[in-house]
Structure 1
Amino acid sequence: MTATDSNTAGTQEAATVGNVLLSGIVGSTAYGLAHQDSDVDRLGLFAAPTEELHGLRPPKESHVTTDPDRTLHEAAKWCRLALGGNPTVLELVWLPDELYEVRTELGDELIGIRASFLSAPRVRDAYLGYATQQFRRLEQRADGSFSADTRRRTAKHARHLKRLCHQGYELYRTGRLTIRLDDPEPFRAFGERVAADPEAARPLLHEFQEAFEEARSALPEEPDERAAEGWLRGVRRRFFEVGA
């Protein structure tokens, strides 16, 4: 499948969920870490018709599918996750323009207020927390004497540990998030080193834990929830009519 075919398939799949406001290609493809066999991951958000939010059974807040791999969160859930510093959902509003497949006026408004979702403590805790989760997975791999498939997964976890540390630290220090890595090769090399010896990841994690502790952040102590609330209420007004 060509890149164009892949994008078309993702757009068609997203269309099965109504009112998609923003959707794009994320994950390894976006970071520049994808290889020939990598899946293409998609992330987006949608608006439930406002009328449905008042019923006995609220609409589903997330839709997750495979082939293609796609996750869509309802607008309110996306906002809650983003306000918590969730690295996965935050990258949606920092993508390079060419990686967006669905981009509406309300999606552009969300991109315009992306900084308001950020706070120093939540970004630090979320990114370091995700990186630590990756390290815990690596610790369980013992001395590296495991199958070829496990080695590949170990290298992948290691690459993402290093990426989370670098991207999280950049966001914490500057208030900006760069999704595509300038030079993916050090991340791939790190993955291979850790695949041979999972303990090789420990110094990197400790280095960034100390760096976060010592750094002065460009982010506020609390996110600006008023901006998120204002945007979300605008979404609810836009989709007030039944079946909108």
Structure 2
Amino acid sequence: MTVTNILLSGVVGSTAYGLAREGSDVDRLGLFATPTEQLLGLRTPKDSHVTTHPDRTLHEAAKWCRLALGGNPTVMELVWLPDELYEVRTPLGDELVGIRASFLSSRRVRDAYLGYATQQFRKLVSRGDGSFSADTRKRTAKHARHLKRLCEQGFELYRTGGLTIRVEDPDSYHRFGEQVAADPDAAAPLLAHFESAFAETRSALPEEPDEAAADAWLRGVRRHFYVSAGTVA
């Protein structure tokens, strides 16, 4: 898959969190700009490209903005990565990193991160008492680690307005994963704790995101990549 006009791209997932172990996949996430002229026709160009081997997801700039404004934890990682994990950085990508706080709101961060964590918990308890195959136990441990990470990172973002991608004490996440793989209900106290923490804590985030800042950035992208049909390249 060849995607042009990539604005920002980097390594995300377990490698970014500091949770990768031998054999872990390396996940990449990025965003690209569709040439503006192509957005004006009858058919809408594809707005996401996903591949495996290597594992890479690229969203068109407008789609990335919509997902980020909704509080999507996965896309939000991209603008909070440590510098060494970026593989593509352009001036427009740097501008996006510079306005990353504009995409945040207390309600959407709370609902998105707790919502994703709750989904992970439902996956865990649906698998029963832990007497399943080794592969299923491995997946269960992974989902448990994600549940813990979503709770910890989401609450940090809600409370402080900032996001630390690399987790503290990665071994504690792996221990938690093994504990939950043996007894899925062991995840319930953690989820309940963070549900209460969100409810009882005043957020540093505004009630609504700054859509005007996101819109202004996206319009700048469209201007940058606009070449009229009559223009000679």
Quickly name the TM-score band, shorter chain normalised: over 0.9
Tell me the amino acid that sits aligned with residue 46 of structure 2. Answer: K
Q: Given the alignment of the two structures, is residue 42 of structure 1 paired with residue 33 of structure 2, yes or no? A: no
| Matching of residues 213-228 of structure 1 within 5 Å | 213-228=199-214
CA contact (8 A) 1:49 1:242 kept: no
Report the 3-state secondary structure (helix = DSSP H, G, I; strand = E; otherwise coil) of the residue aligned with 2:7.
strand
Q: Deviations over 1:73-117 (max 9, x none)?
A: 000000000000000000000000000000000000000000000
1:191 alignment partner in structure 2: 177
The match for 1:240 among 213, 226, 232 is 226
Shift of 1:19: 0.2
1:170 alignment partner in structure 2: 156
The match for 1:73 among 56, 59, 62 is 59
Structure 1: runs of 5 or more not aligned: 1-12
Shift of 1:182: 2.0
Rounded Cα–Cα distance in structure 1 between residues aligned with 2:148 and 2:55: 23
The match for 2:37 among 34, 40, 51 is 51
- Percent identity, aligned pairs only, is 78
Structure 1 residue ranges, 4+ long, deviating more than 4 angstroms after superposition: none
1:94 alignment partner in structure 2: 80
Rounded Cα–Cα distance in structure 1 between residues aligned with 2:54 and 2:106: 34
Q: Given the alignment of the two structures, is residue 22 of structure 1 paired with residue 8 of structure 2, yes or no? A: yes
| Aligned length, in residue pairs | 230
2:142 alignment partner in structure 1: 156
1:123 alignment partner in structure 2: 109
Q: Given the alignment of the two structures, is residue 200 of structure 1 paired with residue 186 of structure 2, yes or no? A: yes
Q: Deviations over 1:109-129 (max 9, x none)?
A: 000000000000000000000
Tell me the amino acid that sits aligned with residue 166 of structure 1. Answer: E
Rounded Cα–Cα distance in structure 1 between residues aligned with 2:197 and 2:167: 20
Structure 2: runs of 5 or more not aligned: none
Rounded Cα–Cα distance in structure 2 between residues aligned with 1:103 and 1:58: 26
Rounded Cα–Cα distance in structure 1 between residues aligned with 2:43 and 2:125: 42
1:139 alignment partner in structure 2: 125
Tell me the amino acid that sits aligned with residue 106 of structure 2. Answer: A
The match for 2:165 among 154, 165, 179 is 179
Shift of 1:242: 5.6
Q: Deviations over 1:47-88 (max 9, x none)?
A: 000000011101100000000000000000000000000000
1:10 alignment partner in structure 2: none
Rounded Cα–Cα distance in structure 2 between residues aligned with 1:107 and 1:242: 23
Shift of 1:241: 1.0
